Amino acid sequence: MTRQNAPSSARLPLLAGLVLAALLLCACGASADSGVSAAAVRSTCRQVSGTLANGPDPVAEPAGLTEAQILPLERIHAPNKALASAISQLAAAYRKFFASNGTSSSAKEAVVVASKRINSFCPGAAS
DSSP 88-111: HHHHHHHHHHHHTTT--HHHHHHH
Q: Is the pLDDT of residue 21 over 90?
A: no
pLDDT at position 66 is: 75
Collect all residues with Cβ–Cβ distance below 8 Å to 114 and sequence separation of at least 6: 86, 89, 90, 92, 93, 94, 126
R_g of the chain, CA atoms, integer Å: 24
Please name the amino acid found at residue 107.
Answer: A
Q: Where are the domains of the chain?
A: 3-30, 37-121
**pLDDT tens across 47-74, in order?**
999 999 986 666 666 676 678 889 999 9
Question: Rounded to an integer, what distance in angstroms lies between the CA atom of residue 86 and that of residue 117?
Answer: 6
Q: Is the pLDDT of residue 32 over 50?
A: no
Strands (E), the chain: none
CA atoms within a 13 Å half-sphere pointing along the CA-CB vector of 17: 5
